[in-house]
């Protein structure tokens, strides 16, 4: 559980990154505004396996629903309309364990999951557990609903990249399925930030 603001600097392929880690608890959120000035992107990390848990500060509120509401507030915040969001749907390993165990059924907490159908861009192997695949794409879909990320436009040949036509087109969401031990997370951040910066330069020259 993160409290306060932690600053980290690192380098990937000779590109310097300056990252701030902020607490997600309700009483920590008022500190966020200190970090949002002149940022390239916001990394939003959600514990996908938290669908059956409640907040420690509010035992009546489901954790995943709280994350969805918070993501929506950040995405639609008028001061962040030009800031892209890298969405890490984390703890996929724990989500898989829960779904397979069938002890905590996702539809018990999200009834709409019962009739959920996989989207056309779903990518999986024949050996993958179908219930797990449905669960992770359902959760992704909840974050990318039109009433949250408005006016979705899918970019061909890039299922992980969702852009919005809202506003002036400077607001993009990059969702990823991850787990805590995934060593590719930093590379994903690097690739997404590179794409975001390229878009900024293209807009400056009116090419996008």
Annotated binding site for Mg(2+): 2
Annotated binding site for GTP: 21-25, 90-93, 180
CA-CA distance, 207 to 118, in Å (whole number)?
Answer: 35
CA-CA distance, 124 to 139, in Å (whole number)?
Answer: 16
What is the distance between the terminal CA atoms of the chain, rounded to a whole angstrom? 40
Task: Tell me how far CA of residue 67 lies from CA of 97, 101, 121, 178, 198, in angstroms.
Answer: 21, 24, 24, 16, 29
Greatest Cα pair distance, the chain, in angstroms, is 55
Q: Are 84 and 103 in contact (CB under 8 A)?
A: no
Annotated binding site: 2, 21-25, 90-93, 180
The encoded tokens of residue 187 equal 């590379």
Classify residue 197 as exposed, middle or buried by CB count within 10 Å of its CB (0-12, 13-18, 19+). Answer: middle
- The CA R_g of the chain, rounded to the nearest whole Å, is 17
Identify the bridge partners of residue 11 per DSSP, sorted by sequence position. 16
């Amino acid at each position: 559980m993160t409290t306060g603001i932690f600053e980290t600097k690192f380098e990937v392929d000779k590109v310097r990154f300056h990252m701030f880690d902020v607490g997600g608890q309700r009483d920590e959120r008022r500190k966020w505004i200190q970090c949002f000035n002149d940022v390239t992107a916001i990394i939003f990390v959600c514990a996908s396996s938290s669908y059956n848990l409640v907040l420690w500060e509010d035992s009546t509120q489901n954790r995943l629903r709280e994350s969805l509401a918070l993501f929506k507030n950040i995405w639609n915040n008028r001061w962040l309309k030009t800031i892209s969001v890298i969405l890490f749907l984390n703890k996929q390993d724990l989500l898989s364990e829960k779904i397979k165990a069938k002890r905590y059924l996702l539809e018990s907490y999200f009834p709409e999951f019962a009739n959920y159908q996989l989207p056309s861009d779903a990518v999986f192997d024949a050996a993958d557990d179908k219930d797990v695949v449905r669960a992770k794409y359902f959760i992704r879909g909840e974050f990318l609903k039109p009433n949250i990320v408005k006016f979705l436009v899918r970019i061909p040949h890039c299922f992980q990249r969702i852009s919005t036509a809202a506003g002036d087109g400077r607001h993009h969401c990059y969702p990823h399925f991850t787990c805590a031990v995934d060593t590719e997370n930093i590379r994903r951040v690097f690739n997404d930030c590179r794409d975001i910066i390229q878009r900024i330069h293209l807009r400056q020259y009116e090419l996008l």
